[in-house]
Amino acid sequence: MSFKRVGVLALGLLSLVGCSAEDSKVTYPDAQKAFFGLNRECKYAYNSGINDIQRSRAFNECNSSRVSFSKQGVRGWVGNITDISTDQGGDVVSVDISATIDGFEAAFGTVGNRISDVDTGSLITPNHPLFNVLSNMKVGDRVRFSGKFLMHPETDRGVWESSLTERGSMDDPTFKLRFTDIEPYEQVKGGQAESLRGVEVRSQESQGKQDVQEAIQDIAQPGATSSPRVESSASFREGSYEQVREQLVSAGYLPLAAPSEEYSSSVDGDPASCGNSGCSVPWRSATVVACVGVSVNDNLDERQWASHVNEGMCE
């Protein structure tokens, strides 16, 4: 399918060139900087290989690291729109966003056509909340974005990266996402709220980088010293795990950062406790805890398992 390009006039091209360079004024979330650092190391390891054996080993190790990182998703990352495209009838929108951190550039986008998108649902349709949002954006706009990494449907490479060659995947990667949020970027000032990994963390002029990191760790790790309140299950609609997950992410929640002894199983990559009656997946925000009950069935696609949000911690 061919897509028509939106905003590819000379002015748009100039904006695109300008946004590819790194902007020191942008505040990137720590998780985004860590992901770019991981891929920068991948590029160095691959290009340091003295033969194809070493390079392919570096390529495979990089893909494993990407899969491990992808489980935490993308929350409040920053980049510039490099493409907004629609099909001929305007029924679906594809979007690409790129960023450069410490000299390394990576891009994030929807799947490029309907055929490839059949099982992923990443293309944005008119009934998607982001359809109207993107209708008011253009190439070159700086945005914050959240979403979930897609796994490649046809290969065992894990995270879906669209390059046709190993070298392209290491040097200039483009990752496929299912976007859950895209909004205009606003530089954070002292005393205003900054969205880090999708959670509101207060940033004051007197607060240093260590304080921000501690705040992120408190959010990501259940059992922190704060006493979170319980969320009412009425706040969320029942549905597939994919639908419930998107509601939680949009509301500023995070799953466990990594599996633990208690939550050694997983549902769609999120640490969970599973038994004969189903699975329990713990979630929390800075002040709220919730537990997602998941009904396990024969459907191999865990994203489609019926789910609902329970009040309080998982038992």
- In this predicted structure, what is the pLDDT of residue 116? 56
pLDDT at 258: 53
As a whole number of angstroms, the distance between CA 312 and CA 281 comes to 12
**Are the C-beta atoms of 140 and 79 separated by less than 8 Å?**
no
- Cross-strand bridge partners of residue 280: 273, 293
* pLDDT score recorded for residue 54: 94
Nearest to 179 by CA among 125, 115, 109: 109
The pair of structure tokens assigned to 45 is 């390891």
> Going residue by residue through the chain (315 aa), what tens digit of pLDDT does each one get?
444 443 333 334 334 444 445 566 788 999 999 999 999 999 999 999 999 999 999 999 999 999 999 988 999 999 999 999 887 666 788 899 999 999 999 999 988 765 555 556 678 888 888 999 999 999 999 999 999 998 887 767 789 998 989 999 999 999 999 999 999 988 544 434 344 333 333 333 333 444 434 433 443 444 444 445 555 556 788 888 888 888 887 776 777 655 566 777 778 777 888 876 788 888 887 567 888 998 877 665 677 888 889 878 887
pLDDT for res 137: 94
Cα–Cα distance measured from residue 238 to residue 308, given in angstroms and rounded to the nearest whole number: 5
Where in the chain are the domains?
4-184, 229-311
Q: Which pLDDT score is estimated for 229?
A: 52
What global pTM score does this model have? 0.55
